[in-house]
Structure 1
Amino acid sequence: MHLHRRHSLLCPLLLVPYLFAQPLEVTYKVEVSTVAGSGRVGYKGGPALEAALNRPNGIVVDRAGNIYFSDDDNHCVRKVTPDGRVVLVAGRPGTAGFEDGDREEALFNSPHGLTLDPAGNLYVCDYLNNAIRKISPSGEVSTFLGGRGGGFKDGGPDEAKLLFPIAIVRDSKGNLWVLESGNHALRKITPQRRIITVVGTGFPGYRDGAGKQAQLSSPVGLAIDKYDNLYIVDAGNRCIRKVTPDGQVSTFVELTFRGWTIRGELAGGLSFATSAGGHGGGVAVDADGNLYIADGGRHIIYQINPAEKTVEILAGTGRPGWIDGNGKFARFHEPVEICLGEKPNTFYVCDYRNAAIRRITIEKLEKYRRPQPADTPKVVSPTLIVRVLDAVSGKPITGAQIQATPTQKGFPLITSPQGEARAEVAPGSYTLTLSIQKEGYKPQQTPVKVEGTTIQVEVRLTPEPPAPQPFFIRVVDENTLAPVAEAQVRLLSQGQLLQAGTTSSAGEYRPTVSGTLRVEVEKSGYFPHSETITPRAGDSLIIKLKPAVIGAVLRETRILFKPNSPQLEPSSYAVLDEIAEFLRKNPRVKLRIHGHTDIGDPDPRYNQRLSEERAINVRQYLIRKGISPDRLEAIGHGNTKPIADNKTPEGRAQNRRVEFEVISN
């Protein structure tokens, strides 16, 4: 992909060093590369090219080169560090909600647009919470304005209402500008945290003019130039609108590019409609006033040059896919947001459906050259096309990383969902060694002979046996669902302790063992919990601990007795040992033990007596384990308090139970 501009020589004296030189069109080369995302949709941090993302939506870059992005369906904000790692900024991955607090405790609900202030505070459009959230450099999350119930109302933090805030920027005076797709409006938040409607009536429409009389329709993208002019991707009207600092609205570019010079083929004009029926489109503006549009409907990045009144494709072919390399060959799958990078002529794109962050760089190649003989052959850089397949299934491999020796511009390459990557390589006749890596496969080196104009290579990678993957445990309060920190977690197999630890402030614990496991969880002030699991890779186990408050009842169907007998089955001892340990660790707790039977005998007096004897036997077992008798009471209820239908075996099994009620703590 090449961009062209003509330059003239302004001063005759400057011609002296170039008497034999001729002006040449300035040529730019556009390269697309992947900076984060493996092609897998999900949540995984670590090395950026191995990370899993889930529909990245908003993006902003700081001066140090940290790339912050909203991970929409993971309901969190993450960043790519300058050393190439994806880390969490704030939110609980995979959990939607609305909660302020520490980075690991806060909850978001479909975060979208992002912007930064000079102090390093990050502002987030919390789309489904109808709020603007603030993340401090230390990771503390607070609600800056709005929250939960949507609406359309100006005012301070207590009165303001927003509806689906989708994009946000900051101007030179410290005001935040928020674009709301739900209210079809552009609104300003002053440094005093008051929100003012500048453009829009709250209803969709199409009208230029003074701000509050002007109308937008489902706006999705927002950018600001150095003069504080704002540019809006008006998706419903399929155009770009401009808002001056005094609030005047005009149509900057129409969907058909009428009145602009089109370079190349731009069939169909702008279209921000995505495959899901929604809208996807972002905008960025550089220091020269050029606009860069991410058109999710066309899978294209446009460049709009107001000075020359030109429009052309910067990157993308118009077909969905995932191909890095030269901009004219590169492919995206619903690019929905774009921002300026930390360096000039660098941009970052949220590639929504590919679950990736892509980088676009523009490099100036040459401006002048000396005349060459007419018969001098033009040097053409060969195009290398690499296809990477699974050696067993023959299916294409997405997200494989390709390095080249000797070093080539544009590398490393990342394969698309079709298993393909392409790039231009240095001309000449030589051997290029490709090193291909992909998690879960054995790395491979492949020599390639460089000759001709197109080199096609097919590489088949051998899968490695899958390594055991950790699963995920989250411990929460049964009543409030709040995380339970510092809970003791033990993992056993056949009675042998494999791993032990405590939950984090977010109630999380990540084991590194696998197989069939017995999980035991304890926390002061809660009843103990245990269960046997066989987790799969990536499973999430939510354990709800019951608070041991007065009146709380722990129901146990795992305490078993011999048929028609008060005698305990040996399999019940482990459960009762947990209760005894709980009482030892909570010395102020007193329990009332309730015995229940099913309708096994038609004589209610028999069932009453049997339930009492069973409760007494449980009490005696706990006393033998060192629990003081004055902390335990035992009563029976027979079959008078069923919790299930006694007509089925499953129902009767639930009714044969022992309950522990807290009567003092």
Structure 2
Amino acid sequence: MKKCLLIFAIFLTGSLYAQPGNEQVKLNDPTQLVADSRDNLFVMLKYGIGKISPDGKVTDLRKLDGGGNIDKAFNNLIIDSKNNLFASDGSNIYKITVTNDNKVISTIYSGVIGKYRIIDGPVSTAIFTQIDHMAIDKHDNIYVTDSYDKIAAEIGNNYVTDNYYLKDKKLKYIRTFRIIRKISADGTVSTLKNSEGKFIVPNGVSGMACDEAGNIVYTTGGTARSVEKINTATGTFSHVAGKPYKREWCPVYTTGDTSIAELFAPETIMVNKKAEIIYADERSHRITKIANGKVTTLAGNNTIDPCGQNIGGRAQEGLKDGKALTAWFTFPKGLAYDSRGNLFIADKWNNCIRKLSPDGMVSTFTTPNPNN
């Protein structure tokens, strides 16, 4: 009898893991990360999207009924107030819903496959060219960056950008302008302009989010290394932190007052419910906070290499749990809070999700698989 029960238990266990989505999924290159109203995490992977339940169970959405439609490489992932996911593959935006009975419903929300233009209007007919970044505000208005070059002739000199880039003509060689498109909650696509009708074209965007007021907060990469803000009502730019273009090579990481702080390689960014700006620094492998006029390290303590080893700036890789200011990450990317105040971090090269709890402890939430 015991032998029969043992065989039945083995069969039952095997059947469970054979069911679609119940495999022991390993995260491959986790980057963008969002949380729904039930504290489920959704993470953008090298291919497709993973779902992580509050107890840490990982599901590959591609293996669920209807999931084959999202078996592709996305470059952005956001979530609205109704738990709908929106992902972009470059020129198209997909709306993805996971039902209560674990079915995936995926449709093209906006964009036309095979067409690359800048055409505004209803989401059903609007066309995009190169969506680099996406953000969503509390009213479910979506903002995306798109190709400036596609309509550069139309724009001409009729634009505004950050004050730093305009000051020094020597910086023209690092111009990476982008336009910003808005997809309003009612389904209308428009290209952002300021109150004078000038195109809003930020330079060097490496991450983008919306604050509580609906303004766009973004990080700049390359030699800019800063955090900037765009008032979406007026189109005006304001500087938040960092020393844009101060150093071409050999960046330094200096915390303290925003007036003196230097940032290293700010990328993925978010604004939490306390109005604190949180960003992942992908080359120093730290999570940094900007609040109350101060730049502080929230988590991460990887040893920063001397400039001679990498003039672009880099820190040693690793995976270490424990107190936040002793933890190590390797190319942290996506950031998302759950309802309990835990901050989850997509640790790209460790191929896992890390958790920073409100008491300041970092733990590894999903099974790691560090890149060699």
TM-score by length of 1: 0.34
Give the match for residue 351 of structure 1: 281
Give the match for residue 160 of structure 1: 69
1:341-380 counterparts in 2 under 5 A? Answer: 341-343=272-274, 345-362=275-292
Give the match for residue 356 of structure 2: none
Give the match for residue 59 of structure 2: 142
CA 158–176 in structure 1, closer or farther in 2 if over 3 Å, else same:
closer
Displacement, 1:191?
A: 4.3
Give the match for residue 182 of structure 2: 242
Displacement, 1:358?
A: 1.3
Whole-angstrom CA distance in 2 between matches of 1:507 and 1:313: 37
Instruction: State the Cα deviation string for residues 452-474 of structure 1 (Å, max 9, x = none).
Output: xxxxxxxxxxxxxxxxxxxxxxx
In the alignment, does 2:111 pair up with 1:171?
Answer: no
Whole-angstrom CA distance in 1 between matches of 2:285 and 2:148: 25
Instruction: State the Cα deviation string for residues 234-264 of structure 1 (Å, max 9, x = none).
Output: 266612210012321111259xx9367xxxx
Whole-angstrom CA distance in 2 between matches of 1:270 and 1:295: 9
1:480-559 counterparts in 2 under 5 A? Answer: none
Give the match for residue 316 of structure 1: 242
CA 396–173 in structure 1, closer or farther in 2 if over 3 Å, else same:
closer
The answer to whether the 8 A contact 1:123-1:135 is kept is: yes
Give the match for residue 305 of structure 1: 231
Larger of the two Rg values belongs to structure:
1
Give the match for residue 188 of structure 1: 95
Q: Which amino acid aligns with 2:211?
A: D
Residue segments in structure 1 that go unaligned for 5+ positions in a row: 1-98, 148-155, 261-268, 273-279, 365-389, 399-415, 420-436, 440-505, 509-537, 541-665
Give the match for residue 108 of structure 2: 197
Whole-angstrom CA distance in 2 between matches of 1:160 and 1:341: 32
Q: Which amino acid aligns with 2:83?
A: G
CA 259–186 in structure 1, closer or farther in 2 if over 3 Å, else same:
closer
CA RMSD of aligned residues (A): 3.9
Instruction: State the Cα deviation string for residues 210-244 of structure 1 (Å, max 9, x = none).
Output: 22432223323222112211111226661221001
In the alignment, does 2:260 pair up with 1:329?
Answer: yes
Give the match for residue 34 of structure 1: none
Whole-angstrom CA distance in 2 between matches of 1:134 and 1:159: 15
1:70-149 counterparts in 2 under 5 A? Answer: 105-126=24-45, 128-129=46-47, 131-145=48-62
Residue segments in structure 2 that go unaligned for 5+ positions in a row: 1-19, 150-177, 246-250, 295-302, 316-324, 328-366
Which runs of at least 4 in structure 1 moved beyond 4 Å after TM superposition? 99-102, 395-398, 416-419
In the alignment, does 2:271 pair up with 1:340?
Answer: yes
Displacement, 1:346?
A: 0.2
Whole-angstrom CA distance in 1 between matches of 2:199 and 2:60: 44
Displacement, 1:285?
A: 1.2
Whole-angstrom CA distance in 1 between matches of 2:270 and 2:238: 18
CA 246–317 in structure 1, closer or farther in 2 if over 3 Å, else same:
same
The answer to whether the 8 A contact 1:271-1:296 is kept is: no
Identify the structure with bigger relative contact order (alpha carbons < 8 Å, sequence gap 6+): 2
The answer to whether the 8 A contact 1:132-1:146 is kept is: no
Displacement, 1:190?
A: 2.8
The answer to whether the 8 A contact 1:218-1:236 is kept is: no
Whole-angstrom CA distance in 1 between matches of 2:124 and 2:143: 16
Whole-angstrom CA distance in 2 between matches of 1:348 and 1:122: 18
Q: Which amino acid aligns with 2:50?
A: R
Give the match for residue 633 of structure 1: none
Whole-angstrom CA distance in 2 between matches of 1:396 and 1:245: 46
Whole-angstrom CA distance in 2 between matches of 1:285 and 1:239: 16
Displacement, 1:112?
A: 1.7
In the alignment, does 2:191 pair up with 1:251?
Answer: yes
Displacement, 1:362?
A: 3.4
Whole-angstrom CA distance in 1 between matches of 2:80 and 2:202: 27
- 1:286 pairs with 207, 211, 223, which one? 211
**Identity among equivalent pairs (%):** 27
Displacement, 1:361?
A: 0.9
CA 361–253 in structure 1, closer or farther in 2 if over 3 Å, else same:
farther
The answer to whether the 8 A contact 1:239-1:253 is kept is: no
CA 304–252 in structure 1, closer or farther in 2 if over 3 Å, else same:
same
Instruction: State the Cα deviation string for residues 493-531 of structure 1 (Å, max 9, x = none).
Output: xxxxxxxxxxxxx899xxxxxxxxxxxxxxxxxxxxxxx
Greater share of strand: 1
TM-score by length of 2: 0.58
Displacement, 1:397?
A: 12
Displacement, 1:342?
A: 4.4
Whole-angstrom CA distance in 2 between matches of 1:507 and 1:418: 22
In the alignment, does 2:228 pair up with 1:228?
Answer: no
Q: Secondary structure at the match of 1:315?
A: strand
